[in-house]
């Protein structure tokens, strides 16, 4: 009796535990515990893997250094014949005349200690220098770019408002984004993938655009396009602008961006506020360039190029360019969250519509019921009374798997449902092994008591062995699998463990109870 | 109720030559099909590309869909009916990966609507870039490799009760694989090499049960892969999961027969090995058939009712269960006899 009582306690506490975890899924709000997580393939949603172009981050860092060189050389009145960025990671500087070279050398030693010299060609009155950043520094820039990109994307998604997004790094330069239940996937991709580099640049009005288009832009300038859509004809119109490459002000100085409605044209626009430093720069630009045109460029697309009428203080500007309220809203979000430090590319996408997810759940449940009912009926027909015990074990098995899913906060996926269905088929195996053994012992002429004991004793080790191999396969899958396949590994492992428990502890307990308390003379098996 | 009479005595061992012939020809057919098809057909998970599942409101012609696709420069994609024909669902596959570009889904559903005069709902888009495909392939192969490694260690330790030996073996196996990986051998060859090394080690160390189990397992996986190749089905991540589950299931069956053989070896010490093996297979036959039956039934219900997405997975499982059951009776056990015959030769 004593032996039974502690097993009763274990079995009951496992059942109660499973029920505690599981009930909130069946009756939401019964007590505060989370429901079983459904995978993206069941509830619909989007899974994205983005790759951060970290080389670009290094390149723009080099561009920044080149710009710094130019400014410093100009303020110190050192004349140079060329400063260029090579291959996106080296900087080459050419100077003439002795005094320039000498002054430059001092500047280099004082201000640019971190640069590594790659080659130096020096003659009497000329110097050509190629430098880059040490590997440790470029690695740091790359790492930082990936981290910043993750933070920026998380910010954008938080502001966009998606419930329970999952955003994490994957490897060195990849970002995994999972947005359950999202419907407008196109808009979400637009929001996540936009670099959102906002720049204020002057138009080069000394050359006319047609000749620049034909002969190539003059040095220091480039052709950028404004893309508008004609509402009446639904056609895209691309307007070229000749724009100076140097950005006078960027979105880095933004403090806020909001959607406003133009009272005159009833069109949405995005109003932006700069911080104090940004406001000062903006005031200086507008003061120095009155009557000139200033282009507002976002990700190398011109949004507008108004003529500066007067000096603008106060640090506020507006971005117009036929927005819908959605696009204006999303632009405000990406501007507030800040620019990505480097462009990102979508390298993996898995999108499941909500209707397909519901279909999958229904089909999975139907095949589970059909398979389950067959197995239950079969066991009762084949093993009679013992079959009922096996069926009870089977039902508890499914409850334990579901309870385990809820308890471990694991995710149920479509292959996961397949795993549960497989478990239904394979879980009876342990019981079949035991029952066949008991039948053999009964045939040899043993009493029910002895037959049950011998059957369990002999089958236990075999059952353990047989299940360990499946468990090994499941654990390896869990380690290497992604998304849906991981869900399969989870339910399969839970199924193996719980079927071991129900066969070796629970059904044994019922047999023992029947044999001891009811003093069964004949086994129904 | 009883399907298999308790005094059943089928001469499995006597027919092992026929079984050997059947197995060998099935393996040869599988390998031949793989060679003809130039290796397994990788799905987009491994090859990279885009898969789009579209549902139309009314029945549509595949050619119409194709013309709609070529208007958005997806003319080279394959279009295939998906799931139940009454659902009007189609799968579009292309090796292009531009579908992830912004605004593409909208353009596509518009183009399809114009071409087919039927509302097109894009229910699923899966895009895998070439680099990711390569990574996933590597991951899947690693999973297969480690599953094999751990199972090898477990069964050689468990069957022969030589845990130290199995540890040494695992070490040798890892070293061999490490040395090979230094030569930049591709992953499939690495796994093949690992298997050959495993078999040689089993042979040298006389771990016959372990060897029998591994041979049965290789047998099952090759034939399942071969049947997949014959039916020109795609290898995707869930199929890899199915293959690993088949490995577990096949071993499960084999282990149960082996356990009985070892029990009977103690019980009938004077009998020949052939007799003992035959008796053990017969004694466990009832259980083997029953479990296969229940598993097969749930897999069938998944195959028929589970819908298109899980269909191939269920198909692989079905083949695996059938082949696994066959191999635990006709492959794993007779190998032990072949071994004995080798030992008895002068």
Query: What integer is the mean pLDDT of B246-262?
Result: 87
Contact predicate A509/A7, CB 8 Å: yes
Across chain A, mean pLDDT equals 87
Q: Which domain holds residue B85?
A: 49-128
Q: What letter would DSSP give residue A52? A: E
For residue A86, being part of any structural domain is answered with: yes
User: Do B171 and B251 reside in the same domain of the chain?
Assistant: yes
Q: Which of B80, B111, B128 is the endpoint of a domain?
A: B128
pLDDT in tens, A422-452: 888 888 888 999 998 898 888 888 888 888 9
For residue A332, being part of any structural domain is answered with: no
Q: Which of B107, B128, B149 is the endpoint of a domain?
A: B128
For residue B324, being part of any structural domain is answered with: yes
CB atoms A356 and B123 under 8 Å: yes
**Is the CB of residue B305 less than 8 Å away from at least one CB of chain A?**
yes
| Angstrom distance (rounded) from CA B253 to CA B327 | 9
User: Do A388 and A496 reside in the same domain of the chain?
Assistant: yes
User: Do B177 and B65 reside in the same domain of the chain?
Assistant: no
CB atoms A418 and B53 under 8 Å: no
Q: What is the CATH number of the domain that holds A73?
A: 3.30.70
Q: What is the pLDDT of residue B88?
A: 87
User: Do A383 and A504 reside in the same domain of the chain?
Assistant: yes
Residue A520: pLDDT band (50, 70, 90) is low
For residue B3, being part of any structural domain is answered with: no
Q: What is the pLDDT of residue B101?
A: 64
Query: What integer is the mean pLDDT of B52-56?
Result: 89
- In A66-165 the beta strands, taken as DSSP E runs, fall at 80-86, 90-96, 116-122, 126-132
Number of domains in chain B: 2
For residue B140, being part of any structural domain is answered with: yes
User: Do A13 and A124 reside in the same domain of the chain?
Assistant: no
CB atoms B147 and A381 under 8 Å: no
Q: What is the pLDDT of residue A1?
A: 47
Query: What integer is the mean pLDDT of A13-41?
Result: 82
For residue A126, being part of any structural domain is answered with: yes
How many contacts does A have with B, using Cβ atoms within 8 A? 227
User: Do B236 and B311 reside in the same domain of the chain?
Assistant: yes
CA nearest to B150 within chain A: A472
Q: Which of B77, B101, B128 is the endpoint of a domain?
A: B128
Share of chain A above pLDDT 90, in %: 30
User: Do A479 and A427 reside in the same domain of the chain?
Assistant: yes
Picking from B121, B128, B305, the nearest residue to A367 by CB comes out as B305
Residue in this structure with the two tokens 């009964």, named with its chain if needed: A442
For residue B6, being part of any structural domain is answered with: no
Torsion of CA B177, B182, B187, B193, to 10 degrees: -40
Residue A89: φ, ψ to 5°: -145, 0
For residue B1, being part of any structural domain is answered with: no
CB atoms B306 and A418 under 8 Å: yes
CB atoms A481 and B124 under 8 Å: no
Per the DSSP assignment, residues forming a β-bridge with A169 are: A175
Q: What is the pLDDT of residue A304?
A: 87
For residue A254, being part of any structural domain is answered with: yes
Q: B39 or B19: whose pLDDT is higher?
A: B19
Q: What is the CATH number of the domain that holds B99?
A: 3.30.70.3400
Q: A355 or B155: whose pLDDT is higher?
A: A355
Q: What is the pLDDT of residue A20?
A: 86
Q: Lowest mean pLDDT of A190-194, A354-358, A482-486, name the range.
A: A482-486
Share of chain B above pLDDT 90, in %: 20
Picking from A356, A415, A492, the nearest residue to B238 by CB comes out as A415
User: Do B271 and B299 reside in the same domain of the chain?
Assistant: yes
Q: Lowest mean pLDDT of A267-276, A429-438, B106-115, B318-327, name the range.
A: B106-115
User: Do B152 and B108 reside in the same domain of the chain?
Assistant: no
User: Do A360 and A490 reside in the same domain of the chain?
Assistant: yes
User: Do A304 and A380 reside in the same domain of the chain?
Assistant: no
Pairing of strands A37-38, A411-412: parallel
Q: What is the pLDDT of residue B102?
A: 62
**Is the CB of residue B138 less than 8 Å away from at least one CB of chain A?**
no
> ipTM more than 0.95?
no
Distances (CA, A) of A484 to A62, A361, B293: 42, 13, 27
Residue A102: pLDDT band (50, 70, 90) is confident
For residue A335, being part of any structural domain is answered with: no
Residue A483: name the closest of A239, A264, A178 by CA.
A178
pTM equals 0.85
For residue B8, being part of any structural domain is answered with: no
- CA-based torsion, A227, A228, A230, A234: positive or negative: positive
Q: Which of A319, A340, A372 is the endpoint of a domain?
A: A319
Q: A427 or A256: whose pLDDT is higher?
A: A256
User: Do A112 and A60 reside in the same domain of the chain?
Assistant: yes
Residue A351: name the closest of A46, A15, A10 by CA.
A46
Q: Give me B99's structure tokens.
A: 């579908």
Residue A110: pLDDT band (50, 70, 90) is confident
CB atoms A429 and B294 under 8 Å: yes
For residue A182, being part of any structural domain is answered with: no
User: Do A77 and A19 reside in the same domain of the chain?
Assistant: no
For residue A62, being part of any structural domain is answered with: yes
Q: Lowest mean pLDDT of A130-139, A311-320, B107-116, name the range.
A: B107-116
User: Do B297 and B276 reside in the same domain of the chain?
Assistant: yes
Query: In chain B, what residues touch A190 (CB-CB under 8 Å)?
Result: 102-103
pLDDT in tens, B182-229: 776 666 677 777 788 888 888 887 778 888 888 898 899 999 999 999
Q: Lowest mean pLDDT of A221-225, A330-334, A404-408, B13-17, name the range.
A: B13-17
Q: Which of A296, A319, A342 is the endpoint of a domain?
A: A319
User: Do A390 and A310 reside in the same domain of the chain?
Assistant: no
Q: Which domain holds residue A107?
A: 55-133
Picking from A425, A440, A476, the nearest residue to B299 by CB comes out as A425
* pLDDT at B346 exceeding the cut of 50: no
* pLDDT at A4 exceeding the cut of 80: no
Residue B170: pLDDT band (50, 70, 90) is confident
Q: Which of B:30-59 have CB within 8 Å of A?
A: 53
């Amino acid at each position: 009796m004593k032996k039974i009582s502690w097993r009763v306690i274990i079995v009951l506490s496992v059942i109660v535990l499973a029920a505690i975890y599981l009930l909130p899924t069946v009756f939401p709000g019964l007590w505060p515990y989370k429901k079983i997580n459904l995978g993206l393939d069941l509830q619909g949603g989007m899974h994205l893997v983005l790759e951060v172009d970290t080389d670009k981050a290094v390149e723009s860092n080099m561009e920044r250094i080149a710009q710094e060189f130019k400014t410093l050389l100009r303020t110190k009145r050192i004349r140079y014949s060329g400063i260029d960025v090579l291959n996106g990671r080296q900087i080459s500087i050419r100077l003439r005349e002795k005094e320039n070279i000498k002054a430059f050398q001092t500047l280099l030693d004082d201000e640019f200690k971190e640069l590594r010299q790659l080659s130096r060609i020096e003659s009497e009155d000329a110097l050509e220098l190629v430098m880059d950043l040490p590997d440790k520094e470029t690695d740091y820039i790359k790492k930082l770019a990936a981290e910043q990109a993750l933070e920026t994307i998380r910010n954008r998604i938080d502001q966009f408002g998606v419930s329970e997004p999952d955003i994490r790094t994957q490897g060195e330069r990849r970002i995994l984004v999972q947005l359950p239940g999202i419907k407008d996937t196109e808009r979400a991709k637009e929001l996540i993938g936009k670099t959102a580099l906002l720049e204020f640049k002057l138009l080069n009005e000394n050359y006319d655009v047609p000749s620049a288009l034909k002969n190539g832009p003059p040095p220091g300038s480039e052709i950028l396009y404004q893309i508008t859509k004609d509402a009446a004809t639904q056609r895209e119109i691309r307007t070229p602008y000749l724009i100076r490459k140097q950005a006078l002000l960027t979105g880095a100085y933004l403090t806020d961006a909001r959607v406003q409605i133009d009272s005159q044209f009833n069109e949405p626009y995005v109003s932006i506020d700069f911080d104090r430093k940004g406001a000062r720069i903006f005031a200086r630009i507008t003061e120095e360039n009155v009557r000139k045109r200033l282009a507002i460029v976002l990700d190398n697309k011109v949004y507008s190029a108004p003529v500066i009428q007067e000096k603008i203080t106060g640090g506020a500007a507006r971005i117009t360019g036929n927005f819908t309220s959605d696009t204006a809203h999303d632009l405000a979000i990406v501007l507030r969250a800040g620019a990505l430090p480097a462009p990102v590319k979508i390298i993996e996408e898995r999108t499941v519509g909500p209707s397909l997810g519901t279909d999958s759940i229904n089909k999975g449940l139907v095949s589970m019921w059909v398979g389950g009912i067959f197995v239950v009926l079969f066991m009762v027909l084949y093993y009679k009374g013992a079959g009922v015990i096996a069926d009870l074990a089977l039902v508890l098995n499914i409850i334990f798997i579901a309870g385990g899913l809820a308890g471990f906060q694991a995710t149920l996926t479509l292959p996961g449902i397949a795993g549960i269905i497989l478990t239904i088929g394979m879980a009876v195996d342990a019981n079949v092994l035991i029952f066949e053994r008991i039948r053999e012992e009964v045939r040899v002429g043993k009493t029910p008591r002895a037959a049950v004991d011998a059957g369990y004793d002999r089958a236990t080790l075999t059952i353990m062995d047989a299940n360990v191999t499946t468990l090994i396969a499941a654990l390896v899958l869990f380690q290497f699998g992604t998304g849906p396949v991981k869900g399969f590994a989870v339910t399969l492992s839970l199924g193996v463990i719980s079927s071991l428990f129900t066969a070796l502890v629970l059904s044994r307990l019922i047999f023992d109870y029947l044999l001891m308390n009811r003093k069964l003379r004949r086994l129904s098996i | 109720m009883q399907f298999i009479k308790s005094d059943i005595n089928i001469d499995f061992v006597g027919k092992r030559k026929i079984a050997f012939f059947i197995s060998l020809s099935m393996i040869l057919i599988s390998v031949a099909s793989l060679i003809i098809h130039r290796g397994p057909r990788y799905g987009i998970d491994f090859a990279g590309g885009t898969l789009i599942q579209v549902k139309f409101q009314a029945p549509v012609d595949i050619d119409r869909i194709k013309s709609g696709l070529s208007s958005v420069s997806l003319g080279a994609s394959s279009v295939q009916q998906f799931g139940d024909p009454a659902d009007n669902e189609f799968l579009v596959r292309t090796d292009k990966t531009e579908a992830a570009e912004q605004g593409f889904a909208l353009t596509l559903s518009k183009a399809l609507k114009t071409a087919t005069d039927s509302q097109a709902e894009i229910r699923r888009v899966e895009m895998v870039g070439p680099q990711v495909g390569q990574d996933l392939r590597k991951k899947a192969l690693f999973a297969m490799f480690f599953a094999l490694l751990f199972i090898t260690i477990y069964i050689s330790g468990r069957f022969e009760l030589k845990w130290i030996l199995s540890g040494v073996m695992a070490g040798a196996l890892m070293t061999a694989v490490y040395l090979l990986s230094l030569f930049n051998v591709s992953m499939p060859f690495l796994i093949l090499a690992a298997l050959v090394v495993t078999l040689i080690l089993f042979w040298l160390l006389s771990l016959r049960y372990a060897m029998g189990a591994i041979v049965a397992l290789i047998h099952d996986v090759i034939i399942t892969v071969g049947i997949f190749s014959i039916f020109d089905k795609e290898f995707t991540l869930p199929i890899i999961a199915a293959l690993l589950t088949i490995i577990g299931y096949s071993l499960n069956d084999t282990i149960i027969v082996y356990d009985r053989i070892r029990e009977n070896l103690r019980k009938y010490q004077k009998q020949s090995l052939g007799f003992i093996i035959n008796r053990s297979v017969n004694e466990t036959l009832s259980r083997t058939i029953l479990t296969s039956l229940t598993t097969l039934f749930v897999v069938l219900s998944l195959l028929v009712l589970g819908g298109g997405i899980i269909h191939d997975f269920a198909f692989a499982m079905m083949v695996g269960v059938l082949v696994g059951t066959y191999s635990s009776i006709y492959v794993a056990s007779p190998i032990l006899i072949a071994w004995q015959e080798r030992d008895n030769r002068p």
